[in-house]
Amino acid sequence: MNADQINALPYRPCVGIMICNLEGRIFAGQRIDSHMDAWQMPQGGVEKDEDPRDAALRELEEETGIPAHAVEILAETADWIPYDLPHHLVPKLWKGRYRGQKQRWFLMRFLGDDDLINIETEHPEFNRWCWLRPEDLLTRIVPFKKDTYERVIREFHEQVK
């Protein structure tokens, strides 16, 4: 695919989840499908006719094992936040149908104990996880998501404290 073809593609509707614990640390998982550092917050596609808030709670449990009753939704981003994939990845992901993702982000406060977190789910996304300070999270993510993460952290900054 050339650049013009990629730029003509739509964005995949997706949700992102910033889970913070009571100490203000953010959940991050190392992607299971990457041999290099590729940490991220939970995220996933919005199914047809699915409400983004419902998608966020579904993805939360699918990726972390955290049930909806163990979180409080504190905020959501005002707008969808898009990011573009590096061009070499576009044909490899989602059958080449999307140029990247547009994400509605949700800030959730984790109210449970860490033993509720179980990344060994039916379709695991992560092979390990940890709680990070926001500035440490930004040093561990893949470069093409950094602008998105900076924007999300900035938008949710006051509620994470």
| Helix (H), strand (E) at residue 60 | helix 52-64
- Give the distance, in angstroms, between the CA of residue 72 and the centroid of all CA atoms in the same chain: 17
> What's residue 1's pLDDT?
87
Tell whether the torsion through CA atoms of 60, 61, 65 and 69 is positive or negative: positive
In this structure, the strands spanning 43-45 and 39-40 are unpaired
Short-list 145, 151, 107, CA closest to 18: 107
> What's residue 161's pLDDT?
67
> What's residue 120's pLDDT?
94
> Where do we find the tokens 């990070």?
132
Q: Over its length of 161 residues, how does the chain's per-residue pLDDT go in tens digits?
A: 899 999 999 999 999 999 999 999 999 999 998 888 889 999 999 999 999 999 999 999 999 999 999 999 999 999 999 999 999 999 988 889 999 999 999 999 999 999 999 999 999 999 999 999 999 999 999 888 999 999 999 999 888 86
Q: Whole-model pTM above 0.75?
A: yes
Question: Do the beta carbons of residue 137 and residue 37 sit within 8 Å?
Answer: no
> Where do we find the tokens 């983004």?
52
Q: Measuring CA to CA, how many Å separate 16 from each of 1, 32, 77? A: 27, 18, 10
